Amino acid sequence: MEFRISDSFTSSLAKLTGDEQKAVKTTAFDLQMNPENPGNSFHKLDRAQDKNFWSVRVNRDIRIIVHRSKASLLLCYVDHHDDAYKWAEKRKLETHPKTGAAQLVEIRERVEEIRVPYYVNVESTPPPKPLLFDRFDDDKLLEYGVPPEWLADVKASDEDSILELSDHLPAEAAEALIEIAVGGTPRAPVVISPESNPFEHPDAQRRFRAMVDTEELERALDAPWEKWTVFLHPDQQELVEKDFNGPARVSGSAGTGKTIVALHRAVHLARENAEARVLLTTFSDTLANALKEKLKHLIGNTPRLAERLEIHSMDSIAVRLHKFNVSNKKLLNREQLFELISKHSQGIDGLRYSVAFIFEEWLQVVDAWQINTWDEYKDVQRLGRKTRLAETQRQVLWTIFETVNAELVETNSVSMAGIYLDLTHSLEEKKNSPFDFVVVDEAQDISIPQLRFLAALGGAKPNALFFAGDLGQRIFQQAFSWKSLGVDIRGRSKTLRVNYRTSHQIRMQSDRLLGPSVADVDGYEDDRTSTVSVFNGPEPTIRNFDSHEDEIEFVADWLVKLSGDGYEAHEIGLIVRSDKEIARAASAIEKAGITYKQLDSYIQLAHGYASICTMHLAKGLEFRAVVVMACDDEIIPSQERIEAVADNADLEEVYDTERHLLYVACTRARDRLLVTSGELPSEFLDDLSPVSL
């Protein structure tokens, strides 16, 4: 007998308390081990229209809804007794007549309308809004997975009703219809033969998964809110398994599953290449630690696989490889390098620039490209630097940079960029990479030296380099040309369009911070207007207050209401711009009486604790409800960063990355989002005003 779980089961399991989840898991394991065990308390649902629906008793109040046949047992839903029964009475499992996919279909409730004649002023009656799908015939809508009994409702829907209607449709149908509604073109429908197993259809495989053993079931139930451990969209699955003849990249806005793809891609490469070593890397130690936690859920207890799949931040793996394979140079941090630049900038005739400007010029141009001669600096294209420099001005600056470079050599010291250059040269000489495959998450924040290093690791070998990133979340690095450094992803780039994490309302308003599209230096443009969220939610709340005290009071009340609505502490995140604002967030959550933890670089979320963190640490995280606090003027955009800019021409980059930071924070929210300020509000909050479909 096949044993399967549905995504509706994992979603409903996540909404139960911790103790309730433990009891459900025990019952689920019992069902998997022996579905026919008389000890399993099955109860026939007489009022269910699907006669194969049964309930299974977990305890006095909790019931699992299963679809039971001779060939299979499917876990469909779990909830408290009455709610579980209501869910079952409104659903049926059927094979779609056109696509051949298995679907859990909500039964349409037909209510006869009572029409009462009355007189109206014709001139005041607003014109009806255009119907979105009346141009499609039934056959085309069926191809998109629309259940036959919902065809009439779909054809009668307009921009006001489509989102509500989508909540009642199978996800593949809802996604296709919303994408059409926003002007996109859904992926080509898949149709299988009537003789095929309906659970083998690609749309069904992302909704229902067979559990081959208890270990796989344990992983699926261990973190039910992480549905990605079990279910993948066909577009995601294609990227995971596809063979590429060179470097490849997946992009997409926040919540579209880029990190999911990166994780599965790394695991797939390790599993399909028995002796290969795979590196999964990302921008920071914080994000690397978050990936390690996710990997545990994905691979479970498979030590041999874990041995060949390493997860490190880019800098940490570079330092390790450099130490053991190149030299023991002393690595200088950012503060030490700034002091070095400052020292050698004293008393220079004709110097017109601040130390801050000189330091950024050294970091982003001289150090990034590892320039060692005047001829190199004289002709280098200063990509990303807005301030123009005449040759005479470059000559003055070069007297500083030449001295700095000389001192680094004399003291056997090196910058992080120097580490990458040494490694790049070593790899090019040895032509023997320590890793067969490299998967990079948060690729939009890769620096020039890092990309050169990655190119040396993987080059243009098939499947060797795979990148995942979102241009809209670039918060650390200046934009530059990948193609100029030998990493050409043309023809091997794919944008994900389905947003699983963030409600339509939150996504639409957050996207206003970035505009309809974001482009990179090589001309690749990410159109964000065609992204589709798969569920609705409340409009985000944007509130400005006259004082910190008023802000804290409101946020505390909002959190109390969340708790009353069934939100558990670990489903809540409070995010601020920097460590300086942590205290404001802590005051609000303490006033609400909710236990919490402040996250550090190890990102260890704890059950029963809300999380407080900075916007930088929030990357890669998600919560059912998010509060973005302290969005005051001079906090975001950061006044410190603005004052550190030596030339107004560079202000654009500061404003762009600060906008991206706020975007990152807002898109950590799944269902509920509150954004507040406690003094004069940030100018960015004007862009977060409500917007309709």
- For residue 439, what pLDDT is reported? 97
Work out the mean pLDDT of the chain and round it to a whole number.
88
- For residue 646, what pLDDT is reported? 60
Max mean pLDDT among 263-272, 495-504, 605-614 falls in: 263-272
Question: Which backbone phi and psi does 20 adopt, to 5 degrees?
Answer: -65, -40
Q: Which of 35-39, 92-96, 129-133 has the lowest mean pLDDT?
A: 35-39
For the residues 655-662, what does the mean pLDDT come to?
A: 92
For the residues 178-197, what does the mean pLDDT come to?
A: 85
End-to-end CA distance of the chain: 45
- Using an 8 Å Cβ cutoff, are 90 and 8 in contact? no
- Grade residue 114 by pLDDT with cuts at 50, 70 and 90: very low
CA dihedral 279, 281, 285, 289 (to 10 degrees): -70
Closest-CA residue to 203 (of 228, 171, 159):
171
Type of residue at 506: I
Q: Is the pLDDT of residue 112 over 50?
A: no
Q: Is the pLDDT of residue 86 over 70?
A: yes
For the residues 204-232, what does the mean pLDDT come to?
A: 81
Q: Is the pLDDT of residue 484 over 90?
A: no
Percentage of the chain surpassing pLDDT 90? Answer: 55
- For residue 693, what pLDDT is reported? 37
Tokens at 398, concatenated: 């070069």
- Grade residue 340 by pLDDT with cuts at 50, 70 and 90: very high
Helix (H, G, I), strand (E, B) or coil at 691: coil
Where do the DSSP E strands lie in 246-373?
A: 248-251, 278-282, 309-313, 330-331
CA-to-CA separations, 95 to 73, 137, 559, in angstroms, rounded: 16, 20, 43
Question: Which backbone phi and psi does 290 adopt, to 5 degrees?
Answer: -65, -40
Question: Which backbone phi and psi does 186 adopt, to 5 degrees?
Answer: -65, 160
Q: Listing from the earlier edge strand, what are the strands of the sheet with 596-598? A: 541-544, 669-677, 623-628, 572-576, 610-614, 596-598
Percentage of the chain surpassing pLDDT 70? Answer: 93
Rounded distance, CA 534 to CA 550, Å? 35
Q: Is the pLDDT of residue 121 over 60?
A: no
Q: What share of the chain is helix, strand, coil (3-state, %, to 5)?
A: 45, 15, 40
Please state at what angle helix 314-325 crosses helix 448-458, rounded to 10 degrees.
60
Q: Is the pLDDT of residue 113 over 60?
A: no
What is the tens place of the pLDDT at every residue in 148-167? 999 999 999 988 888 889 88
What is the tens place of the pLDDT at every residue in 506-562? 998 998 998 777 777 777 777 777 788 878 889 999 999 999 999 999 999 999 999
Q: Is the pLDDT of residue 387 over 70?
A: no
Q: Is the pLDDT of residue 263 over 80?
A: yes
Q: Is the pLDDT of residue 109 over 50?
A: yes
Rounded distance, CA 41 to CA 344, Å? 79
- For residue 690, what pLDDT is reported? 61
Q: Which of 110-124, 145-159, 189-203, 614-628 has the lowest mean pLDDT?
A: 110-124
Cis status, amide bond into 38, omega within 30 of 0: no
- For residue 301, what pLDDT is reported? 66
Q: Is the pLDDT of residue 299 over 90?
A: no
Q: Is the pLDDT of residue 119 over 80?
A: no
Q: Is the pLDDT of residue 344 over 90?
A: yes
**Between residues 386 and 61, which one has the greater pLDDT?**
61
For the residues 296-319, what does the mean pLDDT come to?
A: 87
Strand 465-469 with 248-251, pairing? parallel
For the residues 2-8, what does the mean pLDDT come to?
A: 94
Query: Taking the model in full, what pTM does it have?
Result: 0.83
- Grade residue 451 by pLDDT with cuts at 50, 70 and 90: very high
**Between residues 349 and 614, which one has the greater pLDDT?**
614
- Grade residue 337 by pLDDT with cuts at 50, 70 and 90: very high
Sequential DSSP letters for 13-63: HHTS-HHHHHHHHHHHHHHHH-TT-TTS-EEE-TT-SSTTEEEEE-SSSEE
For the residues 321-334, what does the mean pLDDT come to?
A: 90
Helix (H, G, I), strand (E, B) or coil at 5: strand
| Residue 224 per-residue DSSP state | T
Helix (H, G, I), strand (E, B) or coil at 209: strand
- For residue 194, what pLDDT is reported? 86
For the residues 261-278, what does the mean pLDDT come to?
A: 94
| Beta carbons within 10 angstroms of residue 600's beta carbon | 11
